[in-house]
Structure 1
Amino acid sequence: MTQSSRVFRYPTGVIPLHKEELVKPAKKKPSKYHNRKQLYDEIEFDSLAEIAYYKLLRIQKADFKYHQSFEICPAFKINGKAKRHRVYTPDFTIYEGNELIKAIDIKGMKTTADASLRMNLFEYKYNVPVMIARYDRKTQEFKEKLA
């Protein structure tokens, strides 16, 4: 029996003698939507589609911000229990002058119920439309529709 394979046998199971055998490196959890973060122009984007839309906005010389957060529900207490504030962070926000004119969310798949609710609350509170942009690989264009 080698040193590394020595173990103690307990009624509850087998425990290795060496600490290294107890600790296993943690596996990185895959993204919920199986996308990979991408770095472009020193900005970390959530997907390649977001980079493509970013390039499109740069070509159009649009006044925009990336991942700007908006509060859609303030923090409050009910029956002594504190509830956290809620935010909506669209992928891009488009401005004309200093006025916010629309928010854009890049989606690769179906919009979740949670995302849809946040978009609706944002539209209600800020009176600004949210556009969902999806990239069509065949035409290599974005198709936008209201959320």
Structure 2
Amino acid sequence: MAPKHLASRYFQLKSGHAAIGAYLHWIRVQEDATCEGCSISRETTHHLLFECREWRHQRNRLYKDLETDRVMRPTTAEEYPQGRLLGEPEATRALLQFLASTSVALPRAHLQQMAERARRDDEWGLEALEEAVRTGEG
């Protein structure tokens, strides 16, 4: 069982309706399909799962998890490895963990909200620290 927000991203990738460059460009939400992670010109499911430099460490973990779950690792000889993985029930756990450890297919608005929240948290932390120093508690 996966949290709703994670399962949603997973099924959006499976259906081809994920918040990634190629789809967002196709529905005219973005001017182009550029990858947010590495700036390649076309951010696709294949690119995000198997090529993007931004997620290389998480991808290594994905491959280890696939091996643990006895799922054949994607090869360059495969014509459509993302379809095989997204269609293979045994790969679901590894793919969900990959999504949980990345921002792949997260809507841009959600990413902006997370950045704003982190900025506010940082500011609050600084203010609390300054107050503690002023009052002699720090």
TM-score bracket, normalised by the shorter chain, equals under 0.3
Greater relative contact order (CA < 8 Å, ≥ 6 in sequence): 2
Larger Rg: 1
TM (normalized to structure 1)? 0.24
Give the structure with the larger strand fraction. 1
Give the structure with the larger helix fraction. 2
TM (normalized to structure 2)? 0.24
